[in-house]
C-alpha cells in the first residue's frame, strides 16, 4: 500500500485545489495536493516538501483531518489529509495545469480525484455543523 499525504489549505472560506496536468495519473482531476510519503519521513514533512517541489511555496501543517484508504485499478493508497496554511511564496504550476481557491460549497462542482471525495464530504459536513456554510 502506498502512503500519501494531502494538504487542505484554507484561506478564510476558500479551499486550495489543483488540477492534475495532462500526462499524469488522473489527468484532469482536481485534488488536494500532496504526494508520496518517503521512507523515514512523516506525513507532515512530506507535505511541506511536496508543496515546495510542486508549487514553490512554504506551508505550515496545522492538524490531521482525515485518513482514508482508496483502491485504484493499479494501486491502493492510504491517504492522510491535514489542514494547513500558506506561509510564503507565490504559487507556481509544476505538476498541475491549473489551481484554484474555491468556496467550500463550490467544491462539489469540481471533478475531484476519487480518493479526495471523502475529504470533501467531511469538509462540507464539518463546516456545516459549525454553521460556517449553509
pLDDT in tens, 53-67: 999 999 999 999 999
Dist CA 120 CA 10 (whole Å)? 13
- Decide if domain 2-129 falls under CATH 3.90.79.10: yes
pLDDT top residue among 2 and 132: 2
Reported as type and span, the H/E element at residue 48 is helix 43-55
pLDDT of residue 131: 59
Question: What pLDDT, on the 0 to 100 scale, is given for residue 74?
Answer: 85
Q: What is the pTM of this model?
A: 0.91
Record the cell numbers describing residue 21, joined without a space. Answer: 496536468
Q: Are strands 30-31 and 14-20 parallel, antiparallel or unpaired?
A: antiparallel
Name the average pLDDT for the chain: 92
Pick left, alpha or beta for residue 62 (phi over 0 → left; psi -120 to 50 → alpha; otherwise beta).
alpha
Residue 133 in this model has a pLDDT that exceeds 60: no
Pairing mode, strands 2-11 and 14-20: antiparallel
Where exactly are the structural domains of the chain? 2-129
Of 82, 90, 32, 102, the residue nearest 57 (C-alpha):
90
Task: Dump pLDDT digits (tens) for 8-50.
Answer: 999 888 999 999 999 888 889 999 999 999 999 999 999 999 9
Neighbours of 101 (CB within 10 A): 15
Cell numbers for 101, please give them.
481557491
Amino acid at each position: 500500500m502506498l502512503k500519501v499525504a494531502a494538504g487542505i489549505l484554507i484561506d478564510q472560506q476558500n479551499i486550495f485545489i489543483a488540477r492534475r496536468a495532462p500526462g499524469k495519473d488522473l489527468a484532469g482531476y482536481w485534488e488536494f495536493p500532496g504526494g508520496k510519503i518517503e521512507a523515514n519521513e512523516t506525513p507532515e514533512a512530506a507535505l511541506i516538501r511536496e508543496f515546495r517541489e510542486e508549487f514553490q511555496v512554504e506551508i505550515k501543517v496545522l492538524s490531521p483531518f482525515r485518513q482514508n484508504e482508496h483502491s485504484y485499478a493499479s494501486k491502493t493508497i492510504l491517504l492522510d489529509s491535514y489542514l494547513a496554511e500558506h506561509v510564503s511564496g507565490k504559487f507556481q504550476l509544476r505538476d498541475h495545469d491549473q489551481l484554484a481557491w474555491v468556496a467550500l460549497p463550490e467544491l462539489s462542482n469540481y471533478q475531484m480525484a476519487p480518493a479526495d471525495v471523502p475529504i470533501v464530504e467531511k469538509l462540507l459536513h464539518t463546516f456545516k455543523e459549525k454553521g460556517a456554510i449553509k
